[in-house]
Amino acid sequence: MKDEIGKILQSLELRARKCHRCELSKTRLNVVFGAGPETAEVMVVSEAPGATEDQTGIPFTGAAGKKLDGLLAEAGLDRNSVYICNVLKCRPPGNRDPLPEEIEACRPFLVGQISAIKPKLIVALGRIAAGELLGRRVAMAMEHGTLVDCVYCGVKFKLFITYHPAAGLYGAEAGRRLREDFKKLGAIIEAIRRTTFLQ
Protein backbone atom coordinates (compact mmCIF):
# COMPACT_ATOMS: atom_id res chain seq x y z
CA MET A 1 0.00 0.00 0.00
CA LYS A 2 2.79 2.41 0.99
CA ASP A 3 4.66 1.60 -2.23
CA GLU A 4 1.53 2.26 -4.30
CA ILE A 5 0.97 5.64 -2.65
CA GLY A 6 4.64 6.49 -3.14
CA LYS A 7 4.41 5.71 -6.86
CA ILE A 8 1.29 7.86 -7.23
CA LEU A 9 2.96 10.79 -5.48
CA GLN A 10 6.16 10.37 -7.52
CA SER A 11 4.15 10.43 -10.74
CA LEU A 12 2.25 13.53 -9.59
CA GLU A 13 5.49 15.28 -8.67
CA LEU A 14 7.02 14.54 -12.07
CA ARG A 15 3.93 16.05 -13.72
CA ALA A 16 4.14 19.10 -11.43
CA ARG A 17 7.79 19.66 -12.32
CA LYS A 18 6.87 19.78 -16.01
CA CYS A 19 3.71 21.83 -15.48
CA HIS A 20 3.12 25.02 -17.46
CA ARG A 21 -0.60 25.37 -16.72
CA CYS A 22 -0.18 28.93 -15.35
CA GLU A 23 2.20 31.88 -15.56
CA LEU A 24 4.03 30.90 -12.36
CA SER A 25 5.95 28.30 -14.35
CA LYS A 26 7.84 31.22 -15.95
CA THR A 27 9.01 32.76 -12.67
CA ARG A 28 9.59 29.76 -10.37
CA LEU A 29 13.03 28.44 -9.50
CA ASN A 30 11.71 25.11 -8.22
CA VAL A 31 8.41 23.30 -7.94
CA VAL A 32 7.65 22.76 -4.24
CA PHE A 33 5.55 19.63 -4.36
CA GLY A 34 5.36 18.35 -0.77
CA ALA A 35 7.28 16.50 1.92
CA GLY A 36 6.49 13.83 4.48
CA PRO A 37 5.52 10.18 4.84
CA GLU A 38 3.10 8.73 2.29
CA THR A 39 1.12 7.11 5.10
CA ALA A 40 0.77 10.26 7.22
CA GLU A 41 -2.53 10.52 9.06
CA VAL A 42 -2.02 14.27 9.53
CA MET A 43 -1.49 16.62 6.60
CA VAL A 44 -0.61 20.32 6.76
CA VAL A 45 -1.83 22.41 3.81
CA SER A 46 -0.72 26.01 3.33
CA GLU A 47 -1.22 28.48 0.49
CA ALA A 48 2.02 28.74 -1.52
CA PRO A 49 5.81 28.48 -1.30
CA GLY A 50 7.90 31.46 -0.22
CA ALA A 51 11.33 32.61 -1.37
CA THR A 52 13.35 30.05 0.61
CA GLU A 53 11.07 27.23 -0.46
CA ASP A 54 11.38 28.33 -4.09
CA GLN A 55 15.16 27.99 -3.74
CA THR A 56 15.17 24.65 -1.92
CA GLY A 57 12.11 22.95 -3.43
CA ILE A 58 11.06 21.90 0.11
CA PRO A 59 7.97 23.31 1.89
CA PHE A 60 8.44 25.41 5.03
CA THR A 61 12.23 25.70 5.11
CA GLY A 62 12.40 29.43 5.88
CA ALA A 63 11.59 31.43 9.02
CA ALA A 64 7.93 30.39 8.83
CA GLY A 65 9.12 26.78 8.65
CA LYS A 66 11.00 27.12 11.95
CA LYS A 67 7.89 28.67 13.44
CA LEU A 68 5.78 25.78 12.14
CA ASP A 69 8.20 23.21 13.62
CA GLY A 70 7.78 24.79 17.05
CA LEU A 71 4.00 24.97 16.73
CA LEU A 72 3.77 21.32 15.67
CA ALA A 73 5.87 20.37 18.69
CA GLU A 74 3.41 22.24 20.92
CA ALA A 75 0.64 20.08 19.43
CA GLY A 76 2.63 16.91 20.12
CA LEU A 77 3.50 16.38 16.47
CA ASP A 78 6.88 15.79 14.86
CA ARG A 79 7.45 17.40 11.46
CA ASN A 80 8.70 14.06 10.11
CA SER A 81 5.36 12.42 10.94
CA VAL A 82 3.16 14.82 8.96
CA TYR A 83 2.83 15.46 5.22
CA ILE A 84 3.27 19.14 4.33
CA CYS A 85 2.21 20.74 1.07
CA ASN A 86 0.70 23.89 -0.43
CA VAL A 87 -2.33 24.71 -2.54
CA LEU A 88 0.11 26.16 -5.11
CA LYS A 89 3.31 24.29 -5.97
CA CYS A 90 5.09 27.40 -7.34
CA ARG A 91 5.90 30.67 -5.60
CA PRO A 92 3.82 33.72 -6.59
CA PRO A 93 6.11 36.71 -7.28
CA GLY A 94 6.66 38.82 -4.20
CA ASN A 95 4.77 36.25 -2.10
CA ARG A 96 1.47 37.78 -3.18
CA ASP A 97 -1.78 35.86 -2.63
CA PRO A 98 -2.51 33.10 -5.15
CA LEU A 99 -4.84 34.10 -7.97
CA PRO A 100 -8.03 32.10 -8.60
CA GLU A 101 -6.75 30.87 -11.96
CA GLU A 102 -3.49 29.70 -10.35
CA ILE A 103 -5.40 27.77 -7.68
CA GLU A 104 -7.55 26.17 -10.37
CA ALA A 105 -4.51 25.24 -12.48
CA CYS A 106 -2.74 23.66 -9.51
CA ARG A 107 -5.81 21.93 -8.03
CA PRO A 108 -5.20 18.51 -9.67
CA PHE A 109 -1.95 18.16 -7.72
CA LEU A 110 -3.55 18.86 -4.32
CA VAL A 111 -6.46 16.59 -5.24
CA GLY A 112 -3.95 13.88 -6.15
CA GLN A 113 -2.03 14.26 -2.90
CA ILE A 114 -5.11 14.12 -0.68
CA SER A 115 -6.67 11.28 -2.71
CA ALA A 116 -3.49 9.20 -2.41
CA ILE A 117 -2.62 9.87 1.23
CA LYS A 118 -6.19 10.02 2.58
CA PRO A 119 -5.28 11.85 5.80
CA LYS A 120 -7.54 11.61 8.82
CA LEU A 121 -6.80 15.21 9.83
CA ILE A 122 -5.73 18.23 7.79
CA VAL A 123 -4.41 21.43 9.37
CA ALA A 124 -5.19 24.37 7.07
CA LEU A 125 -2.75 27.25 7.49
CA GLY A 126 -4.48 30.46 6.48
CA ARG A 127 -7.73 31.49 4.80
CA ILE A 128 -6.70 30.51 1.27
CA ALA A 129 -5.86 26.91 2.19
CA ALA A 130 -8.97 26.60 4.37
CA GLY A 131 -11.13 28.17 1.67
CA GLU A 132 -9.88 25.78 -1.00
CA LEU A 133 -10.59 22.74 1.16
CA LEU A 134 -14.02 23.96 2.30
CA GLY A 135 -15.05 25.43 -1.04
CA ARG A 136 -16.08 28.76 0.48
CA ARG A 137 -14.70 31.98 1.91
CA VAL A 138 -13.24 31.63 5.40
CA ALA A 139 -13.26 34.38 8.03
CA MET A 140 -10.09 33.61 9.96
CA ALA A 141 -10.87 35.94 12.86
CA MET A 142 -14.05 33.95 13.52
CA GLU A 143 -13.03 30.46 12.44
CA HIS A 144 -9.43 29.99 13.56
CA GLY A 145 -8.97 27.26 16.15
CA THR A 146 -12.03 25.33 14.98
CA LEU A 147 -12.31 21.68 13.93
CA VAL A 148 -14.85 20.86 11.22
CA ASP A 149 -15.87 17.86 9.16
CA CYS A 150 -14.68 18.23 5.59
CA VAL A 151 -14.96 16.36 2.28
CA TYR A 152 -12.55 17.27 -0.51
CA CYS A 153 -12.20 15.30 -3.74
CA GLY A 154 -14.32 12.57 -2.16
CA VAL A 155 -12.01 12.13 0.85
CA LYS A 156 -13.53 12.69 4.30
CA PHE A 157 -11.36 14.11 7.08
CA LYS A 158 -11.34 16.47 10.03
CA LEU A 159 -10.14 19.97 9.17
CA PHE A 160 -8.46 22.22 11.74
CA ILE A 161 -8.33 25.88 10.74
CA THR A 162 -5.58 28.22 11.90
CA TYR A 163 -3.41 31.11 10.79
CA HIS A 164 -0.33 30.82 8.60
CA PRO A 165 2.78 30.58 10.83
CA ALA A 166 4.22 33.68 9.12
CA ALA A 167 1.54 35.70 10.92
CA GLY A 168 3.30 34.86 14.17
CA LEU A 169 6.50 36.47 12.91
CA TYR A 170 4.96 39.91 12.52
CA GLY A 171 2.99 40.50 15.69
CA ALA A 172 2.76 39.35 19.29
CA GLU A 173 -1.04 39.03 19.20
CA ALA A 174 -0.99 36.85 16.09
CA GLY A 175 1.74 34.74 17.65
CA ARG A 176 -0.36 34.28 20.80
CA ARG A 177 -3.39 33.18 18.76
CA LEU A 178 -1.26 30.69 16.83
CA ARG A 179 0.14 29.15 20.01
CA GLU A 180 -3.36 28.90 21.50
CA ASP A 181 -4.65 27.25 18.32
CA PHE A 182 -1.87 24.67 18.27
CA LYS A 183 -2.33 23.91 21.96
CA LYS A 184 -5.99 23.30 21.15
CA LEU A 185 -4.90 21.13 18.22
CA GLY A 186 -2.72 19.12 20.60
CA ALA A 187 -5.71 18.46 22.87
CA ILE A 188 -7.80 17.43 19.83
CA ILE A 189 -5.11 15.02 18.64
CA GLU A 190 -4.76 13.54 22.12
CA ALA A 191 -8.52 12.97 22.26
CA ILE A 192 -8.48 11.40 18.79
CA ARG A 193 -5.59 9.11 19.74
CA ARG A 194 -7.74 7.71 22.53
CA THR A 195 -10.44 6.75 20.04
CA THR A 196 -9.93 5.54 16.52
CA PHE A 197 -6.72 6.70 14.88
CA LEU A 198 -3.38 8.48 15.16
CA GLN A 199 -2.05 5.69 17.35
pLDDT tens digits, one per residue of 152-194: 999 999 999 999 998 766 767 878 899 999 999 999 998 877 7
CA 45 to chain centre: 1
**Does residue 89 contact residue 106 with C-beta atoms inside 8 Å?**
yes
Burial 175-193 (b: 16+ CB within 10 A, else e): bebbeebbebbbebbeebe
Domain ranges for the chain = 2-193
Q: What are 23-39's pLDDT values in tens digits?
A: 999 999 999 999 999 99
CB 110 within 8 A of CB 43: no
Could you tell me which CATH number the domain at 2-193 has? 3.40.470.10
